[in-house]
Amino acid sequence: MKSETLATILFLSFVALTLGITFWASRQTKTAADYYAGGRSFSGVQNGLAIGGDYMSAASFLGIAGIIALSGYDGFLYSIGFLVAWLVALLLVAELMRNSGKFTMADVLAFRMSPRPVRTAAGVSTITVSIFYLLAQMVGAGALVGLLLGITSPSGKAWTIVGVGALMIVYVVFGGMKGTTWVQIVKAVLLMTGAALITILVLSHYGFNLSSLLGEAAAKSGKGANFLIPGLKYGTAAQGLAGKIDLISLGLALVLGTAGLPHILIRFYTVPTAKDARKSVLWGIGIIGVFYLLTLVLGFGAAALVGGKVIAASDKAGNTAAPLLAKAVGEIFLGSAGGTILLALIGAVAFATILAVVAGLTLASSSSFAHDLYAHVFRRGNATEREEVLVARISAFVIGAVAIGLGILAQGQNVAFLVALAFAVAASGNLPAILYSLFWKRFNTAGAVSAIYGGLVSALLLVIFSPVVSGSETALIKDAAFNWFPLSNPGIISIPLGFLFGYLGTIMSKEYNAAKYAEIEVRSLTGVGAEQATKH
């Protein structure tokens, strides 16, 4: 049997299983709390797995392994930033948000402020961040298709993206948060199992001696010991000081972005209490941490056993390193049939990963559209629950279609890099408003609106004028050069700007509501009046 056929069969089995789950979940999804928050009835462990499922995206699996395989140690910087970021979410955000919010990030802000402008800003920001993130996942899907299904024509790739997008729409529209969470759980287990299997095979090939694996990766890369230290991709001698500052900027965006990602924030609402939210983040940190240790082996394993040249020839940004490694170790241990089987297996897992993450993002952005923009801004809180859920389903459909379109347009960038931009936008636009709102007594509507728009717009403008968009070989627009901003990640400028705008907006407005602050402070720390789990 050919690898393409086997990959297709395995992938279709995953699809059949998850569609079954979605059908089951759709029959239990009746109220808004069911659709947006899975009835708040998931346990801490289940939600911890789903957090892992949401977070271990194509960026983590394909992107990081790819950067390590091509540029060595620099890929590991991503893993560390992505992991440490969870401490911000655990210590400062998860429990307090669970206690004071309902369905979306905007609930926490709207609590103490004038709801319409704040919800509008938070809705715009949620949808922008989610679309950046979606774009990255779709690029990953495109890169995989060529390798796994042997589809190389642009129209073939486009049709595959349409297929992935259509499936994701079905999960979200019918399954809501309950269906999507179970898809994440199944996917997290499959991904961990797949990554662990390949890691064990790679390590056993080197007699479980990490040093000799690293030695061979370094030797084969042609870069020697430099392959094992930072600096081949970020802050190279040729880039000078700007390159090093770019590295800091990337580091900041990674560590501060997670606690501002809408699809991660809404995960905290799926559990019954703040204590379960804490427990789920602990489980999430454990799962994600172990997974990043596995990707370290996968990346260096791909450099050693597949080689940078072969990987770059398959996908110039390295996104196919992990599946190519699966094929190589399969061949070493089980002959050519083994290579075929493992490639198909890892390919199907990677597809499942993308599908699940895309579903989570679509749910986050359509929830925000329906709950924040439609129900509270357009209808001024007069929409019925049924109407709101119907709008959420329709917007999931529309956002899914937008993601399909963008996915077809944007190919060829490294997936982890694109996700880092989404993190920068989240850290600049969302995090300042969330932290101020939870911890700063004086914070008000003007502050929240200027923090969100100020952070969001500065991040987006700096990306537009960066070498990512124009004036470099890997830019989106190669023929023009309006890249006066030298950094490829805007975080080091736009995150402080988000905080600064929030501060200035606040002190320039006289609005101050002591009673409301007392309420959110008491509620967030004690859990008084927190939304309860629905009983079926």
Partner 1 sequence: MTTKEHDASVYEDIQASAEFQDLKRRFRRWTFPMTAAFLAWYLLYVVLSGWARDFMGIKLFGNINVALVFGLLQFVSTFAIAWAYSRHAEKRFDPIADKLRHEVEEKIK
Binding residues for partner 1 (CB under 8 A): 73, 76-77, 79-81, 83-84, 86-88, 90-92, 95, 209-212, 214-215, 218, 225-226, 228-231, 234-235, 244, 247-248, 251-252, 255, 275, 278-279, 281-282, 285-286, 289, 292-293, 514-516, 518-519, 521-523, 525-529
Nearer to partner 1, 464 or 525 (CB): 525
Nearer to partner 1, 16 or 237 (CB): 237
Task: Report the distance separating Cα 70 and Cα 53, nearest Å.
Answer: 26
| Sign of the torsion angle spanned by Cα atoms 29, 34, 36, 42 | negative
Number of Cβ within a 10 Å radius of residue 8: 17
Nearer to partner 1, 507 or 518 (CB): 518
Nearer to partner 1, 102 or 327 (CB): 102
Task: Report the distance separating Cα 414 and Cα 412, nearest Å.
Answer: 7
Q: Shortest gap between Cβ of 428 and partner 1 (angstroms)?
A: 16
Task: Report the distance separating Cα 36 and Cα 29, nearest Å.
Answer: 9
Nearer to partner 1, 289 or 338 (CB): 289
Q: Shortest gap between Cβ of 228 and partner 1 (angstroms)?
A: 6
Nearer to partner 1, 481 or 528 (CB): 528
Q: Shortest gap between Cβ of 95 and partner 1 (angstroms)?
A: 8
Q: Shortest gap between Cβ of 242 and partner 1 (angstroms)?
A: 11
Q: Side-chain half-sphere of 493: how many Cα atoms within 13 Å? A: 17
315 Cβ contact list (under 8 Å, min separation 6): 66, 143, 146, 147
Q: Shortest gap between Cβ of 90 and partner 1 (angstroms)?
A: 6
Cross-strand bridge partners of residue 470:
477
Q: Shortest gap between Cβ of 304 and partner 1 (angstroms)?
A: 11
Buried b / exposed e along 381-414 (16+ C-beta atoms within 10 A): eebeeeebbebbbebbbebbebbbebbbeebebb
Task: Report the distance separating Cα 269 and Cα 272, nearest Å.
Answer: 8
Task: Report the distance separating Cα 329 and Cα 321, nearest Å.
Answer: 12
Nearer to partner 1, 88 or 354 (CB): 88
Task: Report the distance separating Cα 418 and Cα 138, nearest Å.
Answer: 11
Q: Shortest gap between Cβ of 306 and partner 1 (angstroms)?
A: 19
